[in-house]
Amino acid sequence: MKKQYLLFILLLSICNSYGQELIQEAEVSKAYVGYADGWQNTSFKTPVKVFSNRLGFLKISGANFLIEFSGDKAKLEENTAFDSAELTAQELVSSKNEKNGLVSTTYKGKLVYNTFDGVYSPDVSVVYTINQADILRLKISNNKNSKQYIFDLVIK
């Protein structure tokens, strides 16, 4: 009888691990900043790394970008414990199939920065452009200070 329970628990744990969405690691190859008159290329002193999945998980590391995105309100430093931010309380707003086979999903939530001074957490909206299992592009909008960025991603 114990063997049957062990077998059931083993199968259940295997099913749970395969059912989870994998985290994709990518680097930003091109970045664009939004202005009133359109989008312009931009770059950062250090690379911006993105960890994400199709279910709305998002973690961004790159202190220079995060400081700029916060409007200099977040105190961060590269290569320390305070050089990343994570999307929390994400909520799916929309999902749209494009004609070229891409899917655009929009999530809203809080991008939480753990900083030297405490926590900075603006409301953001993130648009993921997805091709099958790969996230190719992110559009991030900070609702607190109206900053917008688009990132073209290269998957590692």
Q: Which residues of 29-55 are buried (b: 16+ CB within 10 A; e: fewer)?
A: eebbebeeeeeeeeeeeeebbbebbbe
The tens digit of pLDDT for each residue in 66-84 reads 999 999 888 887 777 778 9
| Stated pTM of the model | 0.84
The predicted pLDDT at position 16 comes to 46
Percent over 90 (pLDDT), the chain: 62
The tens digit of pLDDT for each residue in 8-58 reads 565 555 544 444 678 999 999 999 999 888 999 999 988 999 999 999 999
